[in-house]
Amino acid sequence: LLYERHGEPAAVVELKDLEVPKLGDSDVHVKMLAAPVNPADINMIQGTYPLLSPLPAVGGNEGVGEVLEVGSRVTALKPGDWVIPADAGLGTWRTRGVFPEELLLKVPSDIPVLCAATLSVNPCTAFRVLADFESLAPGDSVIQNAANSGVGQAVIQIARASGIKTINVVRDRPDLPKLVERLMALGADHVVTEEMLRKPEMKDIFKSTPRPRLALNCVGGKSTTEMLRHLQPKGTMVTYGGMAKQPVMVPVSAFIFRDVRLRGFWMTQWRKDHAQDQGSVAGMMDALCQLIRRGQLTAPACTEVPLQDYRAALEASMKPFVSSKQILLL
């Protein structure tokens, strides 16, 4: 799926037949199996993301493929192995590709294909924001907005596996009870709407759950300000997205009297910073695959879409209140 200019995805993305390039000594020929449509993919096509691929570009930053053939100098991969992108910008919305070996990470082929296809962005983000900002212990709690997003669903499950409680904020919607039920089934301790953050009932939650030391924000605007009120003194709020396209507003009192910390996180930057530190990348992937094998981490709610119906997938991924991730089957 190629785009030659930036703009609205349904208008600029086209399905094109291209020749598969010749295999170099350090290259790997990959048959792509499945690739999701993430918000960052849409923003890259629109031209609004901080990281843009040179045009013409193939869409998609995430997905899983099977190795068909390897160049003579490739040592870490062999035909039949499953691989995912080691970094953003690979262009995963394609049936075949030839990539340099260092752009790929091997993943176990005994995990479900949808888990592997959605592994490198959301679960990694969830893993890092839980691990890198506050040292949380079993019994501690975390509060997060957009709890039904891909990252939100992974945070609930990874936290649950570590004995950390989650307070999950979602927007009010027509099918709210169904969503609450789904998040509770994943292991959420509490699910509240943005409106409830202001209500006295929040006090009831804190009878059984300690106030959070960590808040995770991917919305911005009012939702964030309200969430911040429940953070413990000296707690940290990490912003990794801005779906409301509104700034983060913080009352001065939160800084002065509660000394809260505001931090930011971008998975792409983390990968750049750790490019030479293969141990920490391998450790994270290993931990996530173990959780998947044990049934403690599942793929987010997915809608599988054949490649030729890509327009429907692009449009669906941009609709509000869609809790299902669109996955292109390649």
Q: Is the pLDDT of residue 244 over 90?
A: no
% of the chain surpassing 70 pLDDT: 99
% of the chain surpassing 90 pLDDT: 90
CB 166 within 8 A of CB 186: no
Residues 6+ apart with CB under 8 A from 299: 112, 114, 115, 117, 118, 325
Q: Is the pLDDT of residue 145 over 90?
A: yes
Read off the pLDDT of residues 98-112 as tens digits, 9 standing for 90 and up.
999 999 999 999 999
**The tokens of 100 are what?**
């340099």
Q: What is the reported pLDDT for 245?
A: 87
Q: Is the pLDDT of residue 322 over 80?
A: no
CB 1 within 8 A of CB 63: no
Catalytic residues, by residue number, are 49
Q: Global pTM? A: 0.92
Q: What is the reported pLDDT for 66?
A: 98
Domains and CATH numbers, the chain: 2-118+299-329 (3.90.180.10), 125-267 (3.40.50.720)
